[in-house]
Structure 1
Amino acid sequence: MKGLKGPLLKRKLQFSRTVRLYCSFVTKELLLSNPRYRFWEEFIVPLELESPTQISLVDEASGEKEDVVVTLLPAGHCPGSVMFLFEGCHGNVLYTGDFRFSVGDASRIEHLHSGSRVKDIHSVYLDSTFYDPRFYQIPTREVCLNGISELIRNWICQSSYHVVWLNCKAAYGYEYLFTNLGEEFNTQIHVNNLDMFKKMPEILSYVTTDRRTQIHACRHPKDEEFFHGNRLPCGCSAVDGSPLRIISIKPSTMWFGERTKKTNVIIKTGGSSFRACFSFHSSYSEIKDFLSYLRPVNIYPSVIPIGRTLTEVTQM
């Protein structure tokens, strides 16, 4: 989360009567679970998913007011992530934020439709992270999960000292893996702390701070993470002192997109290191399907893929 505790924004909040942060209820809980963002509490307005809400926008300089209808749509990126659909007198605007849709998902979202037809969308502010032919097709999360599950199963079945470290680069977004792997292996995933999961009971039951489990997603402190290779952050010995047999699995997308040949969803990159294809963002073909279904008048990419220009992205 960047920019949410910047001094300019804090000053804006102090001197404005109208600035608010609209988000999902899950995002609110995640944000306020971090002490650095507690100052947001009086400015947050959580909205229900898929529930159109009228909001009055007031120009603080002129006092002019405009009403818009805002609808939060699930974005499939991480817990709490949403797309914002704005409907007002100047047309409809869809802000996707980070999102992961499969082909055909847009056709199943009720609030993108008016009766049997697609709503007229004037502008889309688009998550264009992988809007690049190099990422034409990214395997679905289900396919990637199956590959990760098979690798884990073949490893941890050998003994209780065989453990797996999910080398996750971010604090959020891997909950899909945690819940499904926890269900698959009837276990809990070891994490550093439970604070951010306490308001998410559907996830909380699948994570633990007990390091005796065989599947780990604990993380190195930031100043150490580049120096220890595959060393398990919580230690390389079992509670009884026996050495652990560790493999690491690093969920990645960019790495797979940079391969010149099509590969499996799991690639061995070292003696005990693996890369697993796993994406939080839609592929090029999924974005193409999304845009061809909505047919917006304007498309504004929020990200310029590495090696591309704004002109190239807008002309794809």
Structure 2
Amino acid sequence: MDEEDFEYIPLMKKKKKNLVTEDKKKKEENTKKLSRNQKRDKNKAQNKVESTPSKSQGTTRQKRKTPKSKTPKRERKKYDGYCPACQMPFSALVIETPTWHASECIDNYKPESECSEGADCDCTIQSHFWRFSHKQLAEYRQRKTRADQIGSRTNKGSKDKTNTNTSNNNIPNSSNNSLSIKSKLNGAIPSQLSSTESCDNVVREKNLNEVLMNSMKKSASEPCIDLGATSKDFKSALVKNATDILMSSVNSKHVKEKESLPRTRKIITKDDKELQNVLGIENSGKGNQSTKPVRNCPFYKKIPETGFTVDAFCYGNVPGCKAYFLSHFHYDHYRGLTKKFSSPIYCSKVTGNLIKSRIGINPDIVHDLPMNTPCTVEGTEVLLLEANHCPGSVLFLFKTQQGRLILHTGDFRADPSMEEMKCLQNVRIHQLYLDTTYCDPKYAFPPQKLVIEFGVSLVDKIMTEKPKTLVVCGSYTIGKERIFTAIARRFDCKICVQRDKYKVLECLEDPDLSARLTLDANETFLHVLPMGKLNLQGLHEHRSKLRTDYNNVVAIEPTGWTYNDKMVSLDQIKPKGNKEIKIYGLPYSEHSSYLELKRFIQYIRPDQILPTVNNGNPATRRKMESIFESWMTEDKAENKPKQTKIGAWAK
């Protein structure tokens, strides 16, 4: 027998022994598992028996292991109370705060009709309250709050007597007058207080009668006042005071929300006095006291030596102003003008039609001045010139009694045709109020006529390739009319506008344009929509409302802000959108470009230039001053004054 066989046999015996031990271990583990499972089943059965409630014992709720909860989502903040103007519950607000919503309602709330549900209206949709008024609901809530107040007073009992005894120490002892006041408090509340009382949850702890009583407790020396029929004026003033107190209590609960509202103008620091003069802001606070800035009319809105202001309606009654001039009907220029305005307004015929029809200004105070015809206003000669901006926009050329010429451009698009105006030839312009919207070298967009011709040719090319195309032009309330009128003349078609735009265009008194207007969207392929609807969703919704089946939609967005300084030719314009809807942004502007401003100033060559746009930043003002000086010196004209600093104008 070899050595290899002798070594092999013992190895086999060892492996057999190992296999036997492994089998035993597996059997033991299986028995242990079975015993564990049996115990587990018994425990489950016992738990079920114990968890079932018996008739004698109360129900015991089985405790469950709560799984690890994820981070809870932030819930939307819900507000209590109702809007004082539209009666909408504040709980329906999603983004706005109650203070924000109430301020918007006070300014813009114009319901169409009364809600048919009356006092039973329980709607929580915001658009419903914007569309319908809820006077009956406000009266119902008013009566309810009064009843709650009376019930709360009667339930107090003896506590009220002790409180009244202590409070009467500050009031003169006059039982008859005090009784007359208490008996007539409920009658002293007019219907207009329903808006404030509707916020019952917000000012729940405020008692209207207590507020009225406290408002009369000014001093112990004053006699007690009877709210009889002979003192109606005082009663109304007293109720107004109580209303202010109630509204202040509502606003005090939303101080943090009020601070988060956007501010229209920043508070100016003390170091920048020049900027305060430019913006027309004076801080009435002393020391480090934080007071609201008082907005006075800035100097660049005033015409010196005349007592006139231009586009200064948001500053209230300007001291010393004899006449208010309006350059055109754009909101940033007529802001603050309401139908209650009573001072004389001077403007063009078209602008006068717009403010009378759109705002409801009293026609007696609107004075329409003719174009290119000198007129005398308060001893000053005024001449209106075409501004090439929007319909009705004008330049004001003032000639003071001292013989100084002052030119105010308002908003304008400088054009070489202005150099042919005889009133601007061979004259010395002492002061120029200049529209500097695009006073930056990067805004060198092409002339207006080239952009209009490109827009017409673009539509012509698309219509020849795809006849079933809907053409949409963007527009403001007034402005951008030259684009869609040029397209309408090329195709000799109608122009579909919305009813609001139709009323605006009627004020232009243009017979050719009026003959092309229509409200029927299915009568023409050329439509005019607001700029805000020139997006994929807005254009898709507009097309879906039409009976005519259009395969494609082409929208033209005419604005100078679409201009890119890398653009060399208009042919480089590429649309945005998809295969069916394409939006072309044309660099069409109704403000002067950088090069057009340069040519205009080098032609006018005024003694002083004052920018009326983007003049709030000191760095921007210094940049514009250097630009003006470079333009004036570039022509190398002799004996011409240099541009002075803008801050010197305010001194």
Q: What's the TM-score, normalizing by structure 2? A: 0.41
Letter in 2 for 1:96: T
Look up the match of 2:454. 147
Partners of 2:491 and 2:535 lie apart in 1 by 31
Residue 141 of structure 1: how far off its partner (Å):
2.0
Report the secondary structure of 1:218's partner residue.
strand
- Kindly report which structure 2 residues correspond to 1:1-316, keeping only aligned pairs within 5 A, or say none: 1-2=330-331, 4=334, 6=336, 13-14=341-342, 19-34=343-358, 37-56=359-378, 67-90=379-402, 91-102=404-415, 104-113=416-425, 118-136=426-444, 138-158=445-465, 161-168=468-475, 170-193=476-499, 194-199=502-507, 200=509, 201-212=511-522, 213-219=524-530, 225=533, 228-229=536-537, 231=539, 234-236=542-544, 238-240=546-548, 242-256=549-563, 258-264=564-570, 266-271=573-578, 272-304=582-614, 309-316=620-627
Contact 2:410 2:434 in 1 (8 A): yes
Report the secondary structure of 1:133's partner residue.
coil
Residue 162 of structure 1: how far off its partner (Å):
1.2
Report the secondary structure of 1:163's partner residue.
strand
Residue 305 of structure 1: how far off its partner (Å):
8.3
Residue 160 of structure 1: how far off its partner (Å):
5.1
Contact 1:96 1:125 in 2 (8 A): yes
Partners of 2:362 and 2:436 lie apart in 1 by 29
Structure 1 residues 227-236 or 181-190, which shifts more? 227-236
Partners of 2:429 and 2:604 lie apart in 1 by 7
Residue 39 of structure 1: how far off its partner (Å):
2.3
Letter in 2 for 1:161: K
Residue 179 of structure 1: how far off its partner (Å):
2.1
Report the secondary structure of 2:554's partner residue.
strand
Residue 49 of structure 1: how far off its partner (Å):
0.2
Letter in 2 for 1:171: T
Residue 24 of structure 1: how far off its partner (Å):
0.7
Partners of 2:541 and 2:431 lie apart in 1 by 45
Contact 2:339 2:360 in 1 (8 A): no
Partners of 1:305 and 1:184 lie apart in 2 by 41
Relative contact order: is structure 1 or structure 2 higher (C-alpha 8 Å, sep ≥ 6)? Answer: 1
Contact 2:534 2:555 in 1 (8 A): no
Residue 312 of structure 1: how far off its partner (Å):
0.8
**Structure 2: segments with no counterpart, 5+ residues:** 1-329, 628-651
Q: How many residues align?
A: 286
Contact 1:101 1:286 in 2 (8 A): yes
Letter in 2 for 1:285: L
**Whose Rg is larger?**
2
Question: RMSD between aligned alpha carbons?
Answer: 2.6
- Residues 289-313 of structure 1: CA deviation (Å, up to 9, x unaligned): 1111111111111112899611111
Contact 1:125 1:299 in 2 (8 A): yes
Partners of 2:615 and 2:335 lie apart in 1 by 27
Contact 1:155 1:163 in 2 (8 A): no
Report the secondary structure of 1:157's partner residue.
helix
Q: What's the TM-score, normalizing by structure 1? A: 0.81
Look up the match of 1:59. none
Q: Higher strand proportion, which one?
A: 1
Letter in 2 for 1:155: I
Partners of 1:82 and 1:125 lie apart in 2 by 13
Q: Higher helix proportion, which one?
A: 2
Partners of 1:42 and 1:237 lie apart in 2 by 43
Letter in 1 for 2:613: V
Report the secondary structure of 1:248's partner residue.
strand
Contact 2:469 2:550 in 1 (8 A): no
Letter in 2 for 1:86: F
Residue 70 of structure 1: how far off its partner (Å):
0.1
Letter in 1 for 2:621: L
Contact 1:55 1:69 in 2 (8 A): yes
